[in-house]
Amino acid sequence: MSRFTASGTSATRGTATRRTLLKTLGVAAAAAALVPIRRVAAADAPHLEVKDPAAVAVGYVEKAAQVDLKKYPAYIKGSTCENCLLLQGSSGPHYRPCNLFPGKTVSVDGWCSGWSAEI
């Protein structure tokens, strides 16, 4: 839809038309679909260090046998990250993501006060 002025030139020259905008958006969407998205795999995520402030706050240990029973009397013998509801991923890897520590992995043999029994 261009309008012509008295001199016969287009008044919309230099401005985008709806058709041009849609073509550009279509090309941009196609290009975006072709760009591979790299997701961080659990193997790429760093292991949670026991001295990490978030780990210290919940008493995280890499081996459940190391839990300080005086400090965490709610600890239930046999509870580990492996049987915690918050642990993500499938069985197999020794370190897996945990909902309490985004971007980090925890030992399946570990424990913290955030432990919640699997349903």
Please list the alpha-helical segments (H only) found in the chain: 18-34, 53-57
**Structure confidence by residue, pLDDT tens digits, 9-47:** 555 555 678 787 667 666 666 656 666 544 445 557 899
To the nearest whole number, what is the mean pLDDT of the chain? Answer: 81
Condensed to tens digits (0 to 9), the pLDDT of residues 63-86 reads 999 999 999 999 999 999 999 999
Q: CA 66, CA 75: separation in Å to the nearest integer?
A: 11
Which residue ranges does the chain devote to CATH 4.10.490.10?
41-119
> CB under 8 Å to 2, separation ≥6 — which residues?
10, 11, 12, 13, 17
| 59: confidence class by pLDDT, cuts 50, 70, 90 | very high
- 14: region left, alpha or beta (phi > 0 left; psi from -120 to 50 alpha): left
Spelled out in words, what is the top-level CATH class assigned to the domain 41-119?
Answer: few secondary structures
